[in-house]
Amino acid sequence: MHELSVANQIVERALEVAKEKKAKKIKSIELAVGELSLLGEEQLKFWVKEILKSKEIGKDVQIKVNSVKAKIKCKKCGYEGNLKPANQDHFQPVFFCPDCGESDIQIEGGRDCVIKKVQVQI
């Protein structure tokens, strides 16, 4: 149900934008979801639509989700780029540098869920 709480926040912000713009309708919401956010993209889309369909302003909203790859920096060899998961355990993933194999890495990106655009009809 992690997606439900995030969906509620997305809907709240989209409704704020619609109110600020004095919009009649929320047409679409575009999101950027990091692969390390632990959010299921389909579940997130489902909950945003489910919450908004009860409100006239958002009942026909379109949701677009863009996946954002995780970016890392290896503290040993200096590699910067995409990470390579070594263990797909949802609760305690382990990641290694794809160049040197070390696990002493810093996550630089791919953890966020960001609203990129809210398109409204005025």
Q: For 64-120, what is each residue's pLDDT tens digit? A: 999 999 899 999 999 999 876 655 555 566 788 888 888 888 999 999 999 999 999
How far, in Å, are 43, 63, 84, 109 from residue 90 at the CA level?
Answer: 16, 25, 15, 18
Domain count, the chain: 2
Q: What is the residue range of 45's domain?
A: 2-69+111-121
| Domain CATH for 25 | 3.30.2320.50
Does this model's pTM top 0.85? My answer is no
pLDDT at position 2, please? Answer: 82
Residues 11-34: what's their mean pLDDT?
Answer: 96
Q: Look at residue 61 in the predicted model and tell me its pLDDT.
A: 95
- Closest-CA residue to 112 (of 52, 75, 80, 69): 69
Q: Is the dihedral of CA 92, 96, 42, 2 positive or negative?
A: positive
Residue 83 near residue 112, CB atoms below 8 Å: no
Q: Distance of CA 80 to CAs 8, 39, 68, 75, Å?
A: 34, 24, 15, 10
Q: Are residues 44 and 103 in the same domain?
A: no
pLDDT in tens, 55-72: 999 989 999 999 999 899
